[in-house]
Structure 1
Amino acid sequence: MIPLPSGLKIWLAAGATDMRLGMPGLALRVQQFLGRDPYAGDVFVFRGRRGDLVKLIWHDGIGRGFLTLEAILGHFVEFS
């Protein structure tokens, strides 16, 4: 289990994201569309078009974290 620091901000990217993107592509989207620094320590959450995949990126000050979650039954809720 990864301990999360207090005061951690979680940003949800509205709309669908191309799930073929990896860490560099999602970090670029954070900069371009959200206007945030992907290496500032916040968590950024992206949802795929079909709703069955969610990707999270997080930089903890030492290294980057990249997590992909897949919904086995159903879909993740749409962010809008």
Structure 2
Amino acid sequence: MLPSSVRVYLSAEAVDLRRGHDGLAALVRRQWGDALYEGHLFVFVGRRLDRCKILFWDRGGFVLYYKRLERGRFRMPPVSKDGTAVEMDSTGLAMLLYGIDVARVRRPEPWRPRLRPAA
């Protein structure tokens, strides 16, 4: 599980996964600006939905994680018609990487403490 300070951004559009560190970093800079260097994860999926790359900055350098599914496809979460990216949590990322259809999973509402009324 990732710390709550780490955000996960999934590009909703297919990306040419021949791009390496620099090419993907340029896409991130164009869409998310300086968030590139804040330790967040930027997820890109290829056109066939069977390959995925995750780019993040770690202690003075970029790290690129690459996964290719031998069977099946990644199941993209729902994206609004005008959306180009989806922000997800670490659980959503894990489900995506395992090929679980996030749209079909019903997650419980997160617990929140009741606020005491002001005296």
Question: 1:38 is matched with which residue?
Answer: 36
Question: Structure 2 length normalisation: TM-score?
Answer: 0.58
- Which amino acid counterpart does residue 44 of structure 1 have in structure 2? F
CA distance in 2, matches of 1:36, 1:15: 20
Q: What are structure 1's unaligned runs of at least 5 residues?
A: none
Q: Where in structure 1 do 4 or more consecutive aligned residues deviate above 6 Å?
A: none
Q: Please name the residue that 1:49 is paired with.
A: 47
- What is the Cα deviation at residue 65 of structure 1? 1.2
The root-mean-square deviation of aligned C-alpha atoms, in Å, is 1.9
- Name the counterpart of 1:63: 61
Q: Given the two structures, how large is their TM-score scaled by the length of structure 1?
A: 0.83
Larger mean CA deviation between 31-40 and 50-59 belongs to 31-40
CA distance in 2, matches of 1:45, 1:63: 17
| Structure 1 equivalent of residue 7 of structure 2 | 9
Give aligned pairs, total: 78
Unaligned 5+ runs, structure 2: 80-119
Letter in structure 1 aligned against 2:65: L
